[in-house]
Amino acid sequence: MTFKALVVEKADDGSTKASVQTLEESLLPDGDVTVAVEYSTLNYKDGLCIGPGGGLVRTYPHVPGIDFAGRVETSTDERYKPGDKVVLTGWRVGEVWWGGYAQKARVKADWLVPLPEGLTTQDAMAIGTAGFTAMLAIMALEDHGLKPEKGPVLVTGAAGGVGSVATAVLAHLGYEVAAVTGRPETEDYLRGLGASRIVPREELAETVKRPLESETWAGCVDAVGGAMLARVLGQMKHSASVAAVGLAGGAALPATVVPFLLRGVNLLGIDSVMQPYQNRVRAWNRLARDLPLDKLRAMIQPATLSDLPELGAAILKGAVKGRAVVDVNA
Ligand SMILES: NC(=O)c1ccc[n+]([C@@H]2O[C@H](COP(=O)([O-])OP(=O)(O)OC[C@H]3O[C@@H](n4cnc5c(N)ncnc54)[C@H](OP(=O)(O)O)[C@@H]3O)[C@@H](O)[C@H]2O)c1
């Protein structure tokens, strides 16, 4: 019994190489549930794991892919039976454990969630970790009082995966969305997802000039971090929250504490990897309800396993628009 997978190998000089290979099923790691994978996707972290690893991958040869959706083939756990449709994101699958860039995956039952009603496995991977994280960010903002009547919501890194889903969901929920992008050519795409205003990246790229600027945003989903996040903190309305999701623009935070002290601004950390089961199910059900499928399908760029080395390098350069969806059986 064999299956196809994208395998990353490391040479003695430390360089890595990714190629599609045929593997024996006996090489799959231990786990409760074996899944016939139908689709996977591409996230920023996948770009790191397809390439030199970014310190995330521990052992080689490695099968990356932090997300997958497919059909249960065998299960020793009573929660899942053959034929059930399942989704996996996070839990360091595709980093420490073999992941979804393969026709077969074997994982712990605790890491899976049932495919939400109303979504196909392809839709679930158009969402993937990026979209799941966007929804966690929106839920955190709502839990801290965000409502459409409070004012415009800023989405940074808007044409990327997290940003695209955040823009589409917020617009569908009735929010006025201001989308920050460094790619002016994505304006029509972002407006199609529901953004009512485009903010050029340069406007927010500089570090904090004054710790407080005029109160502009009622909320923010931030995929960029760095100087942009520092700048945005000073533009938040009183008591408003920023959900910090990513570091596409840098990990340092050259900010002051003044927005926290004088405006009661909240900085909410979002981690998609170790989310407990109940919150995962809540987020997936919200995605099935609040992300219009026509908008989701407009974000898709179809891909195969052999496209991944090139796509992995592209996402690290911020050059992938929307969501690449990988048909692992193509
Ligand atoms: N916390 C979590 O659990 C979690 C989960 C998923 C992702 N993340 C993180 O969230 C970030 C976004 O992930 P993603 O999958 O959406 O990646 P992505 O598709 O590459 O999107 C990132 C976007 O950020 C913008 N960007 C890139 N480089 C930039 C720079 N130097 N300065 C300012 N903006 C820049 C680009 O948008 P424009 O072209 O529109 O400007 C790019 O499309 C990553 O840092 C990722 O690691 C975290």
Q: What is the CATH number of the domain that holds 97?
A: 3.90.180.10
Ligand 1 pocket, 224 CB below 6 A?
yes
Q: Which atom of ligand 1 is nearest to the CA of 272?
A: 3
Ligand 1 center to 248 CA (angstroms): 4
Give Cα separations from 113 to 96, 110, 283, 291 (angstroms): 20, 8, 11, 18
pLDDT digits (tens, 9 = 90+) for 43-56: 999 999 999 877 89
Last residue within a domain, chosen from 253, 269, 285: 269
Residue 122 lies in a domain: no
pLDDT digits (tens, 9 = 90+) for 216-274: 999 999 999 999 999 999 999 999 999 999 999 999 999 999 999 999 999 999 999 99
For a substitution probing ligand 1, which of 132, 245, 317 has the most ligand atoms within 8 Å of its CB? Answer: 245
Over residues 318-323, the mean pLDDT reads: 89
Over residues 296-304, the mean pLDDT reads: 94
Residue 134 lies in a domain: yes
Indicate whether 108 and 136 sit together in one domain.
no
Give Cα separations from 117 to 8, 41, 255 (angstroms): 34, 20, 43
Ligand 1 pocket, 270 CB below 6 A?
yes
Q: Which atom of ligand 1 is nearest to the CA of 190?
A: 40
Give the rounded distance of the alpha carbon of 201 from its chain centre. 20
Query: How many independent structural domains does the chain possess?
Result: 2
Ligand 1 pocket, 160 CB below 6 A?
yes
Give the rounded distance of the alpha carbon of 255 from its chain centre. 25
- Rounded to two decimals, the pTM is 0.96
Structural domain that includes position 133: 129-269
Ligand 1 pocket, 34 CB below 6 A?
no
Indicate whether 228 and 98 sit together in one domain.
no
Q: What pLDDT does residue 116 have? A: 96
